[in-house]
Amino acid sequence: MTEAKGYYVYALKDPTSSPALPFYIGKGTGTRSYAHLVNVDNSLKGQRIQEIQAAGKEVLVVRLIDDLTELQALRLEAELIAAFGTQASGGLLTNTVMPSGLARKARGSLVVPSGVKEKAQIGLALLKEALLELAQANEQGVTNAEAASLLGLRSDYGGGSKDYLSYSLIGLLMREGKLERVANSKKHIARVR
């Protein structure tokens, strides 16, 4: 069975610059690329849309590639965000891929290639989403060991913390208020919103 190819990758471009430069890259299906213009929020992207509209212009919505699987669309989206960079990393895009509260430690001698931070944060967002979906599908909750095993996150490295990645993801989701620990248990459940 082949995966459905109804996804596309799109750019929102600013017509006030010449050439019109992208300020947001996304993936979607159907009319997703236009949803940002219908429901303008207060994010950096929303503020840019408002500025363009206030200047009497219309945001250019450009589909870059059609007929992709979801995985292909995710990969291309990540590559484009990495290539253009986010405003937070000194790039063009208003995409927000950094989760709040992450420490920003770096050694001065460490080389950080352009785009790697964005790729890591996109991957982190996908991992958190997968773990949250697992918890939502299991009302009785899931343990860290179950999450590590079922999602293929268990390490075979020689150290003692084979489930550390899933443990970190659970911690991030708890801090964001999306998971909570069941009292007197090792299980975690999705919080109802």
| CATH of segment(s) 7-89 | 3.40.1440
Does this model's pTM top 0.75? My answer is: no
Distance, CA of 115 to CA of 92 (rounded, Å): 12
Tokens of 61: 């919505």
Distance, CA of 75 to CA of 7 (rounded, Å): 12
Residue 153's φ and ψ, nearest 5 degrees, are -105, 5
Distance, CA of 26 to CA of 104 (rounded, Å): 25
With beta carbons less than 8 A apart as the criterion, state whether 193 and 132 touch. no
**For 96-124, what is each residue's pLDDT tens digit?**
863 333 334 456 677 877 777 777 878 88
Domain ranges within the chain, ordered by starting residue: 7-89, 116-190
Tens-digit pLDDT string for the chain (193 aa):
556 789 999 999 999 988 999 999 999 999 999 999 998 988 899 999 999 999 999 999 999 999 998 888 888 888 888 888 888 878 899 988 633 333 344 566 778 777 777 778 788 888 888 898 999 999 999 998 899 889 988 887 766 567 778 888 888 888 878 888 898 898 989 886 5
| CATH of segment(s) 116-190 | 1.10.10.10
Residue where the block lists tokens 């919505």: 61
Distance, CA of 139 to CA of 183 (rounded, Å): 14
